[in-house]
Structure 1
Amino acid sequence: MKIAFYGSSLLSSYWNGAATYYRGILKALAARGHDIRFYEPDAFDRQQHRDIDPPAWAKVVVYPATDEGLRSVLAEAHHADVVVKASGVGIFDRELIEALRTAPRADALRIFWDVDAAATLDEMRSDPAHPVRAMLPEIDLVLTYGGGPPVIDAYAAMGARECIPVYNALDPETHHPAPADPRFAADLALLANRLPDREARIEEFFLRAAALAPRRNFLLGGNGWHDMAMPPNVRAIGHVGTADHNAFNSAPRAVLNVARDSMAAIGFSPATRVFEAAGAAACLITDAWEGIELFLRPQEVLIARDGQDVAEHLATLTPERARTIGAAARVRVLAEHSYDLRGAQVDAILKSRRARERKAA
């Protein structure tokens, strides 16, 4: 099928946490014969911070962040069998979701792909005129990258015809163990951009843990932390490009995952970082959230309720135990949570919906 995908960016992970998710899913769909065209705006300096070249498995169209630029790429939707509008493009989000009514052919499958379902649902609850909520009766399918039963039920209550989670996963060709790099040596490392709905949790799970473990070395990667007060044993290094993610995950004794407020509250929402770290055989410590056992089992991850739990995990974590936990996590995600499997899931969804539409016609 010809798929027109309107998202934030495939080429740049700069202030764009969904990049590796898009890459994994769309690469797997292309391997199953789908013709992928990804449309991304030239906005937020993402094109100046590309971390991959245009891939062979998708045609990427970068359009000017202007009304004329938007119109030019929306016109191409008419040639697609499947038209996808992803959440969080950052510009023209209203226009893009409303275009699902007018841009595709009448027989095309219209999909809203929500990469931050908890936040989108909160917005829709507070705004009955929200553009996504207004369009839900006309959208064939909602896909989300997390959320589980709570998100499925919430979308159904909002009027969605159908909502299916397609979780984050691992591309083992992209994320894998790497030689230890002294740039990223630490007892605990965290890779996270500074966002309003995650800052307080990072203060608790990472910065408080650092204060409680002054003899341990902590490493913080990600945008936006340059003016944050931190304990002296925390080293903030700014943006870490995807080319360095394997080294970042492989060098420390342990890697921390901290969910955003909304994701932690709704559960069933593992971040891409969880699978990237597991793919590198990192020993992962994660904040507690409902549904984690669907992705990693107790012997494959360390779970913390607060910063004190994180500090206590570090106090007893030997290098040997860390390697054992990381190796077990890698085995699990390779077997059950690869993007190849997610691609097979989406491929089956698309084919079944097309068959259903043809039968109805």
Structure 2
Amino acid sequence: MENKLKVAFYGSSLVSAYWNGAATYYRGIIKELSRLGYQVAFYEPDAYERQQHRDIPDPEWAKVVVYDNNEESAFKVLAEAAHADIVIKASGVGVFDELLEEQVLKLRKENQLVIFWDVDAPATLERMTNNPADPFRELVPQYDMVLTYGGGQPVIDAYTAFGAKRCIPVYNALDPETHHPVSEDARFACDLAFLGNRLPDREARVEEFFLKAAGKLPEQKFKIGGSGWGDKPMTENVEYVGHVYTKDHNAFNCTPKAVLNISRDSMAKMGFSPATRVFEAAGAGACIITDYWLGIDFFFEPGKEILVAASGDEVAEILRNLSVEEAKAIGEAAKERVLRSHTYEHRAKEVQKLFSAHFQLLNISEV
């Protein structure tokens, strides 16, 4: 059955990964939804210099509408949701979030499916828990469903407690067309590399898992990429390579002996929240060392497809004993696992089932 449904998606950015870790997640999901027949319009604000740091041109598989960073422009793009069958407001747009979250519900049309897609559920839930006056608390039960970037049963239970009609995790995954093995690049040659923006709820864990490990292994080379690390004190064996554009992610993942995944505090605490970069690195055949979080074995087999460390000391110990041959074997096993079980094609089909089930309940055909 060919799908003709129109989707209005309000998010941070589809075309820029600058200060926007969810970009590749949006791209992977939306590209595959397009292949399933959905017509997606993505509305993103001109904010945080994202348009000046684009990674991709406007794609063929979505209509991208960039609006000015003011309330009038926000209302203008909100009005376009009237033409959509499905309206999605993502968390963390960065500007006018409260306005967008409220208005997609106020402006909803009859039989529209209105979804809140939380790409940082642990942080949203913590915010609502700590602030009884948070305006989003009243809105949660009004959405037809809440989709989340991850979080497993703890996130489902927490959102249900806030009155969500339905909460379903849609995990990160791999787009094998964009993340895959490439030739090594001397810019990224090292023993261990980490890629991630400098954020308040990540920094202490970067100090523990990455910088502490580097301090214990002065004979090994470490590289860190992402925005905001320029003035961070680091040992001499650590090189800061700045913002790494998505076109360089494959080389960044393929070249080092191993790459490090470090969860943000809230995601490590909640569990079942693998970062997009884990799947991207696995797709490139990288040997991944990750900090421990509940649910790792749901995605990868520890010791065979991924290496797990509970501290910076353990990261250093793993690196001391990790041969190039062993690293390559682990990376290859990880690549085979994601291609088999964790691509965006898999995820989009899950989302399509959710959409279809909703409209079937309303006795509305998707054609």
Give me the TM-score of the superposition, normalised by structure 1: 0.98
- In 1, Cα distance between the equivalents of 2:75 and 2:267? 34
- In 2, Cα distance between the equivalents of 1:77 and 1:317? 52
Contact kept, 8 Å, 2:16 with 2:23, in 1: the verdict is yes
Matches within 5 A, 1:60-209: 60-209=64-213
Contact kept, 8 Å, 1:100 with 1:139, in 2: the verdict is no
**Do residues 341 (structure 1) and 346 (structure 2) align?**
yes
Write out per-residue CA displacement over residues 271-307 of structure 1, whole angstroms, 9 at most, x where no aligned residue: 0010000000000000000000000002000000001
Contact kept, 8 Å, 1:176 with 1:279, in 2: the verdict is yes
**Do residues 323 (structure 1) and 328 (structure 2) align?**
yes
Write out per-residue CA displacement over residues 2-59 of structure 1, whole angstroms, 9 at most, x where no aligned residue: 0000000000000000000000000010000000000000011000000000000000
In the other structure, the counterpart of 1:302 is: 307
Determine which of 309, 314, 322 is the counterpart of 2:319.
314
In the other structure, the counterpart of 2:358 is: 353
Determine which of 243, 247, 252 is the counterpart of 2:247.
243
Write out per-residue CA displacement over residues 296-350 of structure 1, whole angstroms, 9 at most, x where no aligned residue: 0020000000011101111111110000000000000000000000010001110
- In 2, Cα distance between the equivalents of 1:2 and 1:351? 13
In the other structure, the counterpart of 1:6 is: 10
Contact kept, 8 Å, 1:79 with 1:105, in 2: the verdict is no
Matches within 5 A, 1:32-51: 32-51=36-55
- In 1, Cα distance between the equivalents of 2:249 and 2:141? 40
Q: What code does the residue aligned with 2:310 have?
A: R
Write out per-residue CA displacement over residues 97-131 of structure 1, whole angstroms, 9 at most, x where no aligned residue: 00122222121001000000000001111222323
Q: Give the length in aligned residue pairs.
A: 359
**Do residues 56 (structure 1) and 60 (structure 2) align?**
yes
Determine which of 218, 230, 245 is the counterpart of 1:214.
218
Show structure 2 runs of 5+ residues with no match.
none
Show structure 1 runs of 5+ residues with no match.
none
Task: Tell me how far 1:358 sits from its aligned partner.
Answer: 2.7
Q: What code does the residue aligned with 2:105 have?
A: R
- In 2, Cα distance between the equivalents of 1:107 and 1:358? 10
Contact kept, 8 Å, 2:151 with 2:272, in 1: the verdict is yes
Q: What code does the residue aligned with 1:290 have?
A: L
Q: Give SS of 2:363's match.
A: helix
Contact kept, 8 Å, 1:80 with 1:104, in 2: the verdict is no
- In 1, Cα distance between the equivalents of 2:15 and 2:73? 18
Q: Give SS of 1:37's match.
A: strand
- Taking only the aligned residue pairs, the percentage that are identical comes to 60
In the other structure, the counterpart of 1:257 is: 261
Root-mean-square deviation (CA, aligned residues, Å) is 0.7
Contact kept, 8 Å, 1:13 with 1:241, in 2: the verdict is yes
Deviating above 4 A after TM superposition, structure 1's stretches of 4 or more consecutive aligned residues are none
Write out per-residue CA displacement over residues 172-224 of structure 1, whole angstroms, 9 at most, x where no aligned residue: 00000010100000000000100000000000000000001110000000000
**Do residues 16 (structure 1) and 20 (structure 2) align?**
yes
Q: Give SS of 1:123's match.
A: helix
Q: Give SS of 1:203's match.
A: helix
Q: Give SS of 1:358's match.
A: coil
